[in-house]
Structure 1
């Protein structure tokens, strides 16, 4: 793996989010269509854990990050993908009813749970928990688990001279 999957997973997730019209609409204050969803990256969608320092106006955010919880053996790793969804309390209630962060979490899970673009096999939703990063903001943190290769090829390092050959 050599950890380049961190980069790939985050890029894939950002792409999956920004190409989903429902998710993009939920990021806008009044749930209208956003013509250039890529403008949301590093403004409302972050490929790292982000907490706004000063809040000039209430907004909705999605952040993501990847950890490797453990190595199963020399062959497999267990990466964990975290997705934080949070919004200002003034934006929680959706115009049609319901809670914005609940709807966003649901749409994100629909978009990526079971995806084969993250690791080997399918990405699995592990948990969805409450998340309150700062005053007046509430949300959810979604945790997804995957399995990926630890090493793709032999390391290229020479075999120690004291190792038994053949």
Structure 2
């Protein structure tokens, strides 16, 4: 198997962590300002390829107001004789009409905090704990904005 096979595993782990958090799924699925008071999503897997994508882009950003999480793995390179490292990017963005919530914080800030709770300094991606790399604002276009959160996983070759 390819020595970069872990990239698929990393993405699957991130997606499974996102899908395991009921409130995070509500935040990206429901468009209402009171998304946390909406019904529990029984089948969170329906969010994959609707709101969550295992690659950086989405098929058509001209669609209606929605929230998204997309993933990327970039800048992978050897690190020493038996390790490799790179960047795991998690992009969270929403339509500007959905930013306001009933909770005193923006939807995208809520999504960012939930994703960070699920990822930062956790085991299961690479060896050891996942290391925070950076946080930047992310603008898809004038209607969709959010954050790009990156981590640096390290793994064996």
1:94 aligns with 2:96: no
Find out whether 1:10 has 2:14 as its counterpart.
no
Secondary structure in 2 aligned to 1:122? coil
Give the CA RMSD over aligned residues: 1.4
Q: CA deviation at 1:63?
A: 0.4
Distance 1:54 1:146 in 2: 29
Report deviation, 1:52.
4.7
- Is the contact between residue 47 and residue 65 of structure 1 (CA under 8 Å) also seen in structure 2? yes
C-alpha displacement at 1:70, in angstroms? 2.5
**1:8 aligned counterpart, secondary structure:** helix
Q: CA deviation at 1:54?
A: 4.7
Please give the per-residue CA displacement for 1:109-144, whole angstroms capped at 9, x wherever unaligned.
101111110000000111111000122111000000
Q: CA deviation at 1:67?
A: 2.1
Q: How big is each residue's C-alpha offset from its partner over 1:78-132, in whole Å with a ceiling of 9 and x where there is no partner?
A: 1211000000000011122211111111110101111110000000111111000
Answering whether residue 51 of structure 2 is matched by residue 44 of structure 1, we say: yes
How many residues are aligned here? Answer: 150
Partner of 1:110, secondary structure, is: helix
Instruction: Give structure 2 stretches of 5+ with no counterpart.
Output: none
- Unmatched 5+ residue regions in structure 1? 151-166
In structure 2, what is the equivalent of residue 128 of structure 1? 135
The CA distance in 1 between the partners of 2:117 and 2:107, in whole Å, is: 15
Query: What's 1:162 paired with?
Result: none
Matches within 5 A, 1:1-166: 2-27=3-28, 28-30=30-32, 31=35, 32=38, 33-150=40-157
TM-score, length of structure 2 as denominator length: 0.89
Deviation at 1:69, TM superposition (A): 3.5
Larger Rg: 1
Aligned to 1:158: none
TM-score w.r.t. the length of structure 1 is 0.85
